[in-house]
Amino acid sequence: MSSLQRICKCCGSLTPVTPFMFCDECLEERETVRHYLREHPNASPLEIAQHTHVQIEKVTNLVQQGSLVLR
């Protein structure tokens, strides 16, 4: 019996089915970015990527998915 998998909505990798739509790595990176945004609410996506070491494509995908809101 194979385990069910889905595609991560952020990076497109296969991940086990969980209540979340993201893989574990993207969930961790989302939390890193959210923490950074609490401290720097007016940061641009480029600043976020540079300071959190999360790829700018992932930051952009998280915003597009509605998982992050930039001011």
| Residue 27: predicted pLDDT | 92
| E strand or H helix that includes residue 5 | strand 5-7
* CB contact set of 71 (below 8 Å; sequence gap of 6+): 41, 42
Domain assignments of the chain as residue spans, ordered by start: 23-71
Tens of pLDDT along 16-61?
988 888 899 999 999 999 999 999 999 999 999 999 999 999 999 8
Q: What angle do CA 46, 18, 49 make, to 5 degrees?
A: 10
Is residue 71's pLDDT more than 90? no
Q: How far is CA 63 from CA 1, 2, 39, 69, 71, in A?
A: 36, 33, 18, 6, 11
